[in-house]
Structure 1
């Protein structure tokens, strides 16, 4: 009877990809497993991944947390923006405080922490930061709680308006930094940060240009409209991150910029396919 060693030495199996210099791909026996090759990992990011870089993070053991964070941001921004434009005569943002603490703040902060576990530095930084924004926003506006507004207004109305303008200006700078990092991603992803940046600019201008009646109403209203657009873009990107052929009849288009690496790869592939088709026709 041949031993296991002898059987191994007599193995006449043709050379595998491993023998040809390729790294072996581990195949999980589970029917739900999916082995990814190096080429499959080289996928350009899209809005729903909250990842503007060329490559997606490595395969993760957790679900994609970006749609959750985007949904948190979109819903909280939508409610506040409706109040800023004075929808149905509502002008006081008290109702936003609860949402800012729980959903836009805590849940979005958690989604940012999960992005760290997923290996997405951009998503972790952005979602965690905007989660902190909503928590701090709730702290500022908590009625009778931290008395930040009352304390500043006691020293002069201009103290609160200018201070809040500084707060918004800081977020303009941060959002602009993130906006720059989306220039090589997708149109939907870029437009989210662009409209958000404009909204912050309008709101900051409104608080700096205050009068006896309060912040400049026109600037606040314009900022509110841009905030509504940003909210829907956040939801759109969240939908793009969740929709696939298992739960949706269509996938949301996100439109890669023509100068992005993914668009260049697609154009090169299309050109190669066209040339191969022309040459094939001639050879026939």
Structure 2
């Protein structure tokens, strides 16, 4: 009996993360100033729910890194959604900044886990921890320049994540190897 081929859940998780991050980052960078509520639906469903689903599928496939990353960032987007609609009451910018810095620390540690993977994942996590630190410190100090810088780096993060996920989809559809490059220690 042969086992049926299963889809790779990583492109779904990366795409959900990338699209939601890109939309929010355009607001964080100051490129858009009205209509930020559009991020909430994305945070709840594509950034959150899709990544949580990808995490469960990564767990089933035995990929600990993918499981931890997608579940954590899926939960982050659900937290963002619930915090934004006021489920937890009023939350100060300082408290939100603190949470962002702590996610930056988590992401920095996870970045070390990409050193032997591929350049796409390596760059996504590198840019993401920088994004979290800039946004977090900007929020805690009220420094709009740092916060906007975090938005711009967030846009680059989204592009790296989207490329990483979609390169795999397109390569598989064409019967080719995804052009993701080698990470520094591979």
TM-score (norm. length: structure 2): 0.91
Q: 1:239 aligns with which of 166, 172, 180?
A: 166
| Cα distance in structure 2, aligned partners of 1:204 and 1:92 | 22
Counterpart of 2:182? 256
Matched, 1:218 2:161: no
Matches within 5 A, 1:144-159: 145-146=86-87, 148-149=89-90, 152=91
Q: Which runs of 4+ in 1 moved over 6 A?
A: none
| Cα distance in structure 1, aligned partners of 2:114 and 2:183 | 10
Matches within 5 A, 1:266-281: none
Cα shift readout 1:58-112 (whole Å, capped 9, x = no counterpart): x87531111000000000000000111122x425632211110011011110110
Counterpart of 2:103? 171
Q: CA deviation at 1:185?
A: 1.9
Structure 2 residue ranges without an equivalent (≥5): none
Matched, 1:141 2:84: yes
CA RMSD, Structure 1 to Structure 2 (Å): 2.1
| Cα distance in structure 2, aligned partners of 1:225 and 1:249 | 34
Q: CA deviation at 1:177?
A: 1.0
Counterpart of 1:268? none
Matched, 1:93 2:36: yes
Matched, 1:112 2:55: yes
Structure number with the bigger relative contact order (C-alpha 8 A, sep ≥ 6) is 2
| Cα distance in structure 2, aligned partners of 1:183 and 1:236 | 18
Q: CA 1:202–1:68 in structure 2 vs 1: closer, same or farther (change >3 Å)?
A: same
User: 2:171·2:178 contact (CA, 8 Å) conserved in 1?
Assistant: no
How many residue pairs get aligned? The number is 186
User: 1:73·1:104 contact (CA, 8 Å) conserved in 2?
Assistant: yes
Counterpart of 1:69? 13
| Cα distance in structure 2, aligned partners of 1:175 and 1:102 | 22
Counterpart of 2:112? 180
For the pair shown, the structure with the greater C-alpha radius of gyration is 1
Counterpart of 2:136? 204
TM-score (norm. length: structure 1): 0.61
Does 74-83 or 60-69 show the bigger shift? 60-69
Structure 1 residue ranges without an equivalent (≥5): 1-25, 29-58, 153-159, 211-215, 261-284
